[in-house]
Every structure is written in C-alpha cells, then in structure tokens.
Structure 1
Amino acid sequence: MLVHLDCFVISADTGSFSAAARQLGLTSAAVGKNVTTLETQLGVRLFQRSTRKLRLTEAGERFLQEVRVGLTTVKMAMKGLSTSTERPSGVLKVSMGTYFGMHFILPLLPEFLQRYPDIQPDWEFDNRKIDLIGERYDAAIGGGFDLPQGIVARELAPVHAVLAAAPAYLSQHPPFLEPDDLARGDGIRIRSPQTGKIRNFMLRNAGGQQSAVGLPVCMTFNEPEACCRAAEMGLGIVMANIPDLLPALESGSLVRVLPDWYADAGGIFLYFPTHKLLPAKTRVFVDFIIEKFREHHIARRIDARSSGQKTPEN
C-alpha cells in the first residue's frame, strides 16, 4: 500500500508516470499499475489520463491533500530517521534567498560540514516562493512563504527596510534630516521580480511618527545586490532591507540616511516540516542555524533600531 501511495503522490507532483518513475527507480508501467491498483482499492478515479499529462480529479485533489503529510510521517517512522543514535547523513535540500543565503548562511557551511561530514548539501539560492513539501525540500530560509498544513515557521530575526547612500553622495547634497527632505534625493529602488512593482513602505521612528517614502524613483533593479552596488557608486539613495545592505553598512561604504527612521519588512524565518520524527539531518541543521544566529548576533545586527549601525555625517 505504501508504494501505491508513493506512486500516486509523486505522479501528482510531477504530472506524469514517467517522471515519477525516474524519481522512484521504477518503470513507467509499474508506476501506472500501482496507481491503478490504488484507485481500485479506493473505488474512485484519482487521475484523468491523457497522452500528454495527468490531471487530478476532484477526488484526487482531496485525497492528495489528506495523504501527503501523513505519508511522509509514516515513511520517516519506518526508516527510523528520528532516533537519537542516528548519525546525521544524506542529502540536505534547502532553499534560501540568493543574497541572504550567500552572505549569511553559506559562510557557516564549513563548520556545519565539520560537525556533520556525512551530510551532503543541496542548496538552492533563489528568491522564488517554493512548495516545501511538494518540491521535497528539507528546510527553507527566507520570508513571505505561505504556511500550509504540515509546515512550521521559526522566526530567526525581524527585518527592517532602511535608507542608505554612499558618503560621497551625501557630501554633495544638503543634509537629509527629515522624511520630507527625501523629495530632493535620487531613489534607487527594488522592484519585485514577480509583480514588477516597487513596494510602498511606510517609514516610522521610535516616537511613533509615520511618513511615506517620498523618494523620487530614478532607477530600479530586481536584485537587492544591484541596488546596493549602485548606491555604493554614489548614484543615489537606496531603500532596501538591512540584511541586503549590512555588509556595506558595516564596512562604511554605505551609511544610513535618516537613521532614526525605518520600515517594517516582515522577518526571516526558518521553515521545516512539523513532523515529530524529523530526519536527523534536518534536525541538526535547524538547531545549527538557530545556534549560529544567536552566536553571531545576526538578529541584533540587522535590527534598524540597533545603535551599532553607522550613520551619515553630512
């Protein structure tokens, strides 16, 4: 019965028996036969079949939602992956945002592999939203994910968006002291690769005041690192999340503009399945990331309210 369910779920995820067969190491005919046997046992048709693609029936859609998480739990239990004596091993598939992953998570990899040499990282650096369960990821790091049944989100740090510019740019302009002063600045903004739109932030300060970002848009990019680089070149004032600006802020190549003002931009979360029987490789990765965030004070470093940020002196 378990192999029948496995064939059904993977066929539904991939859209074909042949693709499922490649993942399972079976023949396409064997996968199709297992799904047909399952349909016979259930007394319902799960797929509408065509020569090009499989389509779930309404009953198949319902069954997929109900069986997916339970199937994964059962498979983990049968393999005994949660035993405390297990040596963490295997392929660890993780998704994370490109810039954040490259600058904050990838540098931790040598120490992680030193602790757990039998784990093989399979990491995807991308800013797209993923289906953690459907695409068979062990974990994901980022923000803005949908939280379906079976997934837990552990907040690693809040995220703020701030304004920053190169010291050379600021030296050529009158001081920016209040949000209204932004009207005479040159804005470098990030547009969403999904919608093509620029996010409208609302600035706030510790006194509870709020103000719209009245910064004229002079150039836009779909990649935070490009915005940061353009600002370092002295081309204008960038509005971006602190994690994307932190290396430049800490080096001094960028400084905060209106350092008392910031915008709430969500948070950075560690996503993983809610199974009590987490594989050892996933469990140690989750614990390791949480440990390193605390050890390196990452949450404090990317907090716009922290006094450690460099500020403009113009």
Structure 2
Amino acid sequence: MENFSSIECFVRSAEVGSFAEAARRLSLTPAAVGKSVAKLEAKLGVRLFQRSTRKLTLTEAGQRFLGEVSASLNTIQNAVANLASAEGSPAGTLKVSVGTVFGCLYVVPLLAEFLQRYPAITPDWHFDNRQVDLIGQGFDAAIGGGFDLPQGVVASKLAPAHRVLVASPHWLQDHEGIRHPDDLHHCDGILIRSPQTGRIRSWPLSHRSHEQSPLRMKVRMTLSDSEAACRAASQGLGVALVSMPFALPYLRSGALQRVLPEWYVEDGNISIYYSGHKLLPGKTRAFVDFIIEQFAEHQWARHFSAV
C-alpha cells in the first residue's frame, strides 16, 4: 500500500505540477507528498521531477513512468469505488464544474431529488464560467459547451447551444422594420466578450432555411456574461445576442422578445463531460445518468432550441 500511495502522490503532482496542489487534493500536507515522491524516486533509482521554486517539471524518466502508471492507477481506484458502490449505493465526494448562472437555473434545482436517490454522495460543485481541466483538476464531471476533448474525456449531448437576438418590447416598438440582419447595422448592440480570451467574437447568423448572414451591430456596450446582457437588454438599452438558456426566463416573462426570430447562432451543444474510462466510479455514473434523464424529462433540448 505504501508503494500505491507513493505512486498516487507522484501522478497527482505530475497532473498539477505542484506538491502543494496535489496535497490539497489528496488531503495531505505538501511535505508528506514531497517525501512520498522522494521515497518513490529512491526506490526506482531515478529522478522523476526537476524541482524549482515555482513548479515541478517531469524528467524524461518521469514522463515515461507517468504514461505507464497513470491509467492503471485510475483503473484500480475506480474498481475500488465501484466495488464499494456494489455493496451499497454510490458514495463519495462528487466534484462537478458548471457555469454559474446556468448551474443555478437548471442544475441546482435538481439537487434535492439527486440526493434523495443517492444520500451517500456529497456534492462538491464549482460554479465557474471558465473551462476546466477535467482530469488535471480532479473533476468527476462538468456541464457546459465548447469544451476541448482531451484524451480520456467524453461528452454526452444534453441540448443544442443556440444564441438568439433579444431586445425589450419597448425597444422593438421604437425600431420597427427590422426584417433582416442587414437592418441591424445601426442598432445599439450589447455584445458578449469571451471570459476566456477577452475578445468579442464575430458570430454568423443562420436562418431556419440555412441561409447565413454576418451579424454587424454598433457597439453600445460589451459584457462578459449572458445574464448581464439580458438584464441590460430588458432596460431597453439595445439588442443582445445571448445563449438561449439565459434568454428563456426573460422570453417567458415577456421582459424580452426575440429580434429576427427566424435567425439564430449555432454554437455547438451543451454537454456533460466525464472520464471515458470503462470503470467509471459509481458516483459519477449515477450523476451522468441522472442529468441526462432529467434534461430529457424537462425537455430542455426542445426549450433551448432556437429553431
């Protein structure tokens, strides 16, 4: 078991490039993790890390060793977790990443039923609009759109990720005659700035008939969040291009209306991301299956579609 613990300390340290961060995830002290890795290096007779005051860097031998043991470590840990689940119900801490507003609107309301089914699972949910490194940061699952799919991660589609143009009823009354994207050129635009890149993305609009047109609006303001853009648009400040899940409550209440309802932006899918390992921990499998089931039951794929 001592060898297994040392290997786990090595793998987690390699994933995050830090003894301190690995220690936090393993509920150990940085000194204990460093000592465990040092013992492993002594036993193997090779140096696995180049150490500096800022970060750890794998040596050539360390890279080779990581490639040989990482998958096996995950297999053993998942097998142990699944055996424990087979003796009872899925259990353990479930670390999930989801966007802040999306999570509060569509995932948190499912929490009571999920815990009623799986009382031995402890949610550790992180609300963040940035993409996470699912495996490197130790997440069991993530919900969102546009994630890169590194090796070992799979995605199950939950709903389309469409963006729509919205404005307040008052704004639309004052701007009649908008029938084509070309009519938006001189309209005040509430534009979204990517929190990842800081850039304002140029979105091509698609018509239900598959015609495409560039979207050009006068920049009135830039925001980094669709919820904030909806609130600004509801004050009659211009036209916002926002994700359909954020627009939906405003559209249902009448605070916003769609501008050019035949047009929308196709932005991939909203998916749930998790490890593609065949021995997926019971807690993760339970959560993935539950989320897929609930999205189907609530028909969110239909409601989030702009078509």
Q: 1:206 to 1:82 in 2, by over 3 A?
A: farther
Q: Within 5 A, what are the aligned runs for 1:95-244?
A: 95-244=97-246
CA distance in 1, matches of 2:82, 2:282: 10
What is the percentage of aligned positions where both structures have the same residue? 57
Per-residue deviation, residues 108-157 of structure 1 (Å, max 9, x unmatched): 11211222222211111101111111111111001122212221111111
Distance 2:69 2:158 in 1: 30
Is 2:82–2:282's contact at 8 Å kept on the other side of the alignment?
no
Bigger Cα displacement from structure 2, 47-56 vs 215-224: 47-56
Query: Superposed, which structure 2 residues align to 1:1-314 within 5 Å?
Result: 1-17=3-19, 19-21=21-23, 23-24=25-26, 26=28, 28=30, 30-50=32-52, 53-81=55-83, 83-305=85-307
The 8 Å contact of residues 233 and 239 in structure 2, kept in 1 or not, is answered as yes
Which residue identity is paired with 1:286?
A: V
Return the letter of the residue paired with 1:182.
Answer: L
Distance in 1 (alpha carbons) for counterparts of 2:252 and 2:64: 51
8 A Cα contact 1:165 1:238, kept in partner: yes
Give the Å deviation of 1:158.
1.4
Instruction: Give, in whole Å, the separation in 2 of the partners of 1:275 and 1:81.
Output: 16
**Greater shift in the superposed pair: 173-182 or 40-49:** 40-49
Gaps of 5+ in 2: none
**Would the alpha carbon gap of residues 87 and 48 (structure 1) be closer, same or farther in structure 2, given more than 3 Å must change?**
same
Measure, in 2, the Cα distance between the counterparts of 1:25 and 1:240: 40
Shift of residue 25, structure 1, vs aligned partner: 5.1
- Tell me the distance in 2 between the aligned counterparts of 1:65 and 1:197: 36
Go from structure 1 to structure 2 and tell me whether the alpha carbon gap of 1:43 and 1:146 turns closer, same or farther (over 3 Å shift): farther
Aligned equivalents of 2:192 and 2:214: distance in 1? 16
Q: How many residues align?
A: 305
Identify if the C-alpha distance between structure 1 residues 238 and 62 changes in structure 2 by more than 3 Å, giving closer, same or farther: farther
Q: 1:237 to 1:24 in 2, by over 3 A?
A: closer
Deviations 1:251-287 (A, max 9, x none): 2211111111111111111011122222221111111
Question: Which amino acid in structure 2 is aligned with residue 78 of structure 1?
Answer: V
Shift of residue 37, structure 1, vs aligned partner: 3.6
Indicate how the Cα distance of structure 1 residues 4 and 230 shifts in structure 2: closer, same or farther if over 3 A, else same. Answer: same
Cα gap change, 1:250 to 1:15, in 2 (>3 Å)? same
Please report the TM-score for the alignment, with normalisation by the length of structure 2. Answer: 0.91
- Alpha-carbon distance between aligned partners in 2 of 1:107 and 1:116, rounded to the nearest angstrom: 16
TM-score (norm 1): 0.90
- Report SS of the residue matched to 2:185: helix
The code of the aligned residue for 1:98 comes to: T
